Amino acid sequence: MNNQSHFDVVVAGLAVADVIGRPIDLKSFPRPGGLKFLDSVTLTTGGNVSNVGIDLARLGFRTAAITRVGNDSLGRFITQHYRAHGVDTEGVIVDANAQTSATMVCVGPDGERSFLHTRGCMANFRAQDVLDHLPLVKKAKVLAFGYLGLLPETEKEFGPLFQAVKEKTSVKILLDTGGHPRASLRAMKSFLPLVDYFLPSYEEAAELTGKTGPEEIVRFLRKAGAAGIIGIKLGNKGAYLADGTTTWSIKPARVKNVVDATGAGDAFVAGFLAATLRGFNAAEAAQKAATIAASCVTAVGASTAIKAFERYP
């Protein structure tokens, strides 16, 4: 991409409003009509577009969003939140027919999360929403799309969508997973060859492929057509990375106190893209991503703890 690009990354796909409560012991809910106090309740943004987009902006990169929000207070909150962090909102579509997608995030005493979610207007999100904003995509170096697993209507269009992006722009494509990703081998062969970076979590990759070991997962994805870099996010065990000729085991960064694991996987994605855009090779970028993901879990919210890229060792 030439030096005239306006953005480093355009982030497309899922955006939600998150209400995060902590700590919540799901095994010890108050009885019907009862009350239990929490340490905090936080309204923030979530989903691939919010987390990766805002993380990258906080890291010091230029980002733009393509997603849908409802014509309601939560939708206005998301849009205002993006603008406050410097994320361009030209590609944010206001959907008058459904509420903003939203999630109640229940954070346990150990920092792990459970989710209650309404899809809202994201059920109306389609590949055409991205294609309508190809002039915006053309201004970037990377299109980060998420999630495979949470946008079933759009997933049917991944092949034609990514093909059009490749034919009409020079951006690289990153695809992330979420929820319970399922796709036939035929479907994966229609879009994985077009993906430059595929970064599923271990649990999601195992569900998608039916395999249990990172090496087996990568072999399966290669047979399914994945030609780019594959990174399996392993949580507090780091990551497993493969570029077609070489594999790496990425060490996890140490965390003294896990406060909230919300958005850690997205922080890994943002960190990987940030380091890649700064010229790091794949293994170096993944190691930097692990460090950034580790910092994410030290505060409530997906992006609260993210600092400028230069502050990470």
Q: What is the pLDDT of residues 5-49, one digit of tens each?
A: 599 999 999 999 999 898 999 888 899 999 999 999 989 999 999
Whether the model clears a pTM of 0.95, i.e. scores above it, the answer is no
Q: What is the pLDDT of residues 140-189, one digit of tens each?
A: 999 999 999 999 999 999 999 999 999 999 999 999 999 999 999 999 99
Average pLDDT of the segment spanning 222-238: 96
pLDDT of 1 over the 60 cut:
no
149 occurs within a structural domain:
yes
Q: Establish if 95 belongs to a structural domain.
A: yes
Is 56's pLDDT higher than 80?
A: yes
pLDDT, the chain, mean: 95
- The answer to whether residue 1 is domain-embedded is no
200: β partners? none
DSSP string computed for 137-200: HTT-SEEEEEEETT-HHHHTTHHHHHHHHHHH---EEEEEE-SS----HHHHHHHGGG-SEE--
How far CA 287 is from CA of 88, 147, 197, 265, 284, in Å, comes to 28, 23, 15, 13, 5
Q: Six-digit token pair at 266?
A: 């997205």
pLDDT of residue 262: 83
Per-residue pLDDT tens for 244-254?
A: 899 999 999 98
pLDDT at 110: 84
Report CA Rg, the chain: 18
- Structural domain total, the chain: 1
| Residues above pLDDT 70, as percent of the chain | 98
Q: How confident is the model at residue 300 (pLDDT cuts 50, 70, 90)?
A: confident
Assign 21 to helix, strand or coil: strand
User: Does 30 reside within a domain?
Assistant: no
Please report how the helices 214-223 and 202-209 are oriented relative to each other, as an axis angle in degrees rounded to 10. 50
Q: Are 165 and 197 in contact (CB under 8 A)?
A: no
- Of the candidates 129, 111, 59, 131, which has an alpha carbon nearest to the alpha carbon of residue 262? 111
Structure confidence at residue 2 as a pLDDT band (50, 70, 90): very low
- Whether the upstream peptide bond of residue 147 has omega within 30° of 0, thus cis, is yes
Half-sphere exposure of 25 (CA within 13 A, CB side): 8
Terminal Cα distance for the chain, rounded:
27
Q: Which domain holds residue 294?
A: 9-25+39-303
Give the pLDDT confidence score for residue 5 in this predicted structure.
58
Provide the CATH number for the domain around residue 171. Answer: 3.40.1190.20
Q: What pLDDT, on the 0 to 100 scale, is given for residue 256?
A: 85
Give residue 227's pLDDT band: very low, low, confident or very high (50, 70, 90): very high
Residue 159 in domain: yes
Residue 174's DSSP bridge partners are: 144, 197
pLDDT at 150: 95
Domain-embedded: residue 99: yes
Residue 4 has pLDDT above 70, yes or no: no
- Residues 6 or more apart whose Cβ sits within 8 Å of residue 186: none
Which among 153, 151, 154, 156 has a CA at the least distance from the CA of 180?
151
